[in-house]
Homo-oligomer: A and B are copies of this chain.
Amino acid sequence: MSSLHPWTGEMAAYALGWSDTSGTPDSGGSEGKGVRQALAVLGAEAVGADGADAVPGAVAVEFVHTFSLLHDDIMDGDALRRQRPAVWKAYGTGPAVLAGDALLAQAMTTLAETPGRHAAAAVRCFCRTLNALVSGQAQDLRFEHRPWYGPGAVGPEQYRSMAEHKTGALLGCAVALGAVLGGAPDRTVTTLERAGRHLGLAFQAVDDILGIWGDPAVTGKPVHADLRRGKKTYPMLAALAGGGRAAHELAALLDPPQPLDHEAAAHVAALVEELGGRTATRDEARRHLDTARRALRDASLTRTAAQQLDGLFTYVLDRTR
């Protein structure tokens, strides 16, 4: 990242999990799960190209993902990210805005400067995704102002649209960029992008389950993290969507004057499970994974890469962190 100002470079390296706030390299393993990078490389291999062709795509996707985490943490007021202070907590809000901008600029530059004749198509793919990310975050922020239940409440289908923009688009972009940079025809790119988008929706559904019922020792997140933050996630909305007295009772517990304490959160989690929110979310994840797998079969892919993609898809559903 040669053209970065050293200070924004330091913040970007911190956000990426490469170093601590003093700039010292950090090998504590606080990076992400590597799903996006793997998708990009496999996207290129699946269309018969060298995985190395996808590297600018993998880099761009990782940078834009980090950009979005960084800015979203400011908007959501989330003080912790990957068990460390969020960038805005560590460096201040203004500098964190700038660090995000720098990462986004580097992401675009990486693609725009890719040698060969696929840079323009890669940039167009990237731009579609960037617009989707921003739109998904706008939807998510607006959800906060809407009631849990009754008129104006967020329904599971609206949540799905938000997740498709906020999470699905980027996983779709990762595998599509690999294919674009590998020189795949438009139809294959579109099919792979659809597979990635549904994988992203499955990924988000699993995330929502882990955010309520995940093991803190494995996820690295506080117990009942999403409940205590009052996040409107799929399990909650699915549980409430059933209606009736039990849903009404649940809704009454969800707007407490203070954040839920441990006991109240455990009670809510049990109620959501009883109302079928957990099962519905698991079904939602499985449904999207099936759609993603069907899309994979529709594309004419090289066998080994298709198998590896399938294995990655299984990991997304079965992961515990």
Contacts and interface: CB of A to CB of B under 8 A. Distances in A.
A16 B156 CA distance: 35
Interface string A102-145: 10111011001100000110011011101100110111011000
Interface in A134-171: 134-135, 137-139, 141-142
A190 to B, nearest CB: 17
Interface of A: 3-5, 7-8, 71, 74-77, 93-95, 97-98, 100-102, 104-106, 108-109, 112-113, 119-120, 123-124, 126-128, 130-131, 134-135, 137-139, 141-142
Contacts of A97: 71, 74-75, 97, 100
Contacts of A141: 94-95, 98
A113 B105 CA distance: 18
The residue among A74, A104, A135 with the most chain B CB atoms within 10 A of its own CB is A135
B134 A71 contact: no
B134 A98 contact: yes
Tell me how many chains of this kind the complex includes. 2
A142 B119 CA distance: 34
B94 A106 contact: no
B3 A102 contact: no
A93 B95 contact: no
Contact of A5 (B8, B108, B126, B135): B135
- Name A's interface SS: helix
Contacts of A134: 4-5, 8, 98, 101-102, 105
A138 B5 contact: yes
A175 B40 CA distance: 36
A135 to B, nearest CB: 5
A70 to B, nearest CB: 10
